[in-house]
Structure 1
Amino acid sequence: MPPYLRIVNLIRTDISEGRLAPGDLLPSESELMRRHSVCRGTVRRAIAVLCRDGAIHTIHPEGSYVGSRSVPRRRLPRKYDLVAADLRQQIDSGRLPPGDRLPTEAELAKHYRVSQSTVQAAVALLRADHLVFTVLGRGVFVVDCRH
């Protein structure tokens, strides 16, 4: 049996036996690679099969969840969630008013003691919630909700 199908079957078994419940976050690609001693392409192929069959769905940059998109997601917050939540609170409280530029990725990474990719994921969440927008070459700005 090809390695990707072995992973598909193991994840399906975890779902059917209740070790993975609807809304649960699957292990990351890196974790699945480590567990099954396979390359990223093999893991991605397994995830694609499970997505195509409707057993899971993927939300970028979060990961893959058991069940359809309509199932409430259950997972522990990640660092980028915490950074986004803090920035969201600053926007809501007015400490980051409409039109203000957010600190640079490097400044935010240093302030929150996270990687720049974590900051990028946090900003992507804020952008998806229409709280910030990017002007290439100028930075990320708080949306003015009054307009």
Structure 2
Amino acid sequence: MGEAAENLNYDCNYNMFLAKIMLSNLPTNEDRQKAVKWMKKLTNCNRSIEEMKLRNDFMYYLVVNIQQGQLQAPFTENPPPSALPSIAHLLPGGTADMEDTEESRQPTMKPMLYENSPDGGAFLAAQPVPRCGAFCYLAVVAKDPKSSH
């Protein structure tokens, strides 16, 4: 499996870390127990690259649910005993809408940033985006006092 598996495991472990530290966002003990059961199930889903990608998709949506403080389907129920590929349809949007391309995994910037940039966002588009962490851009622009705008 090599480097691809290593990257997928890294992403899963990072999301697992986020889920664990935000678990207290869930209001009830029952919701926290369901989330933990899902985390345990997802931890064991690593038999193939495809299963690992699917596992990471489930982990992402679980983290989003925990962050928002409310579980939504499929996490409102305990995880089924079946394998992840057979429950892929439970993900938001199903599997048909999920295109796994490098571009689809990149964070997107707000179009407003591009619209308000003097260069139309060319500088921002050329900047590296970190796998983990944050991307911050600060610009200070002085307005020409002789300008009519």
Report the TM-score, using the length of structure 2 for normalisation.
0.26
Say which one has the larger Rg: 2
Hey, which of these two has a bigger chunk of strand by percent?
1
- Name the TM-score, length of structure 1 as normaliser: 0.27
